[in-house]
Amino acid sequence: MNEQMQMQANALQVDLKQAKHVVFLTGAGVSTHSGIPDYRSKNGIYHGIATPPEKILSTSYLLQQPEQFYDFVQQNMYFPAAQPNPIHTWIANICNQHGWLITQNVDGLDKKADNQHVIEFHGDLYDLYCTKCGQMFSYEVYKNSFRHAKDNGIIRPGIVLYGEPIDQTKLSQSVQKVAEADLIIICGTSFVVYPFAGLLAYASPQAKIWAINKTPLPATNKVKQVVTDALDFIKLVSQTE
């Protein structure tokens, strides 16, 4: 780790100590260290598939071709044995003291890390329900069949599919938390998916903003960017006193 990275880690640690309301905005790059692939990289779940993801992960595909939808999500998106990594734990510790996490991730690992202040912006794969009657199901049931035995309804995960709106309560709460923050940390996301990326527009002009990601963000000059692997940098920040 070079000297510049150490200086950045020191600076973020100072900002964390001074902050009263921290908000994290996270994406798939946080969970890759738990063995969950991201979406669009060469090892991502979208790489090499013939059907566009915008079609496969859409409401119409779910309802018209439920077996193909089910096969795709089961083979590519469910990792029930995955466990939180040190990034999840670090974020959870800060959030439980004086912050909130708004995440694009749908894997439930932030809740597994005992983060009490989580907004799952795009939902949770393990919130499963019947599209016909609304009954909730466990993953143990879903992994055996996507059909509700009682009414033949399609069981689906409670995630935002292409063409569906973000839950308005989550959206409003997210906007409020970002507006209240005096420190915002973007982590493990290229920050190009909207409306998630649009949340930054609600940040206070006085808020300090950091971004930790393997590739640079299309952000303004106000954002302090750390272009590196998030796990490596956060370990450095954690060691900095």
Boundaries of every domain in the chain: 1-36+84-122+165-241, 38-78+124-159
The span from the CA of 25 to the CA of 42, in Å, is 23
Arithmetic mean of pLDDT, 15-29: 96
Residue 1 has pLDDT above 90, yes or no: no
pLDDT tens per residue across span 131-184: 999 999 999 999 999 999 999 999 999 999 998 999 999 999 999 999 999 999
Cα 108 to Cα 127: distance, rounded to the nearest angstrom: 9
Task: Spell out the residues 6+ positions from residue 196 whose beta carbon is closer than 8 angstroms to its own.
Answer: 25, 102, 104, 121, 122, 189
pTM value is 0.94
Q: What is the DSSP letter of 188?
A: S
Nearest to 182 by CA among 213, 157, 203, 160: 203
What would the pLDDT profile of 43-86 be if each residue is shown by its tens digit? 777 777 878 888 999 999 999 999 999 999 999 999 999 999 99
Write down the residue that tokens 């598939």 correspond to. Answer: 49
pLDDT for the residue 209: 97
pLDDT at residue 53, as a whole number? 83
What is the model's pLDDT at position 52? 84
pLDDT the model gives residue 51: 81
* Cα angle 161, 91, 23; round to 5: 70
CATH number for 1-36+84-122+165-241: choose from 3.40.50.1220, 1.10.1740.10, 3.30.365.10, 3.10.420.10.
3.40.50.1220
Range 38-78+124-159 classified under CATH 3.30.9.10? no
pLDDT tens, residue by residue, 205-233: 999 999 999 989 886 678 999 999 999 99
Task: State the catalytic residue, choosing from 33, 88, 117, 122.
Answer: 122
- Catalytic residue check, 117: no
Length of the chain counted residue by residue: 241
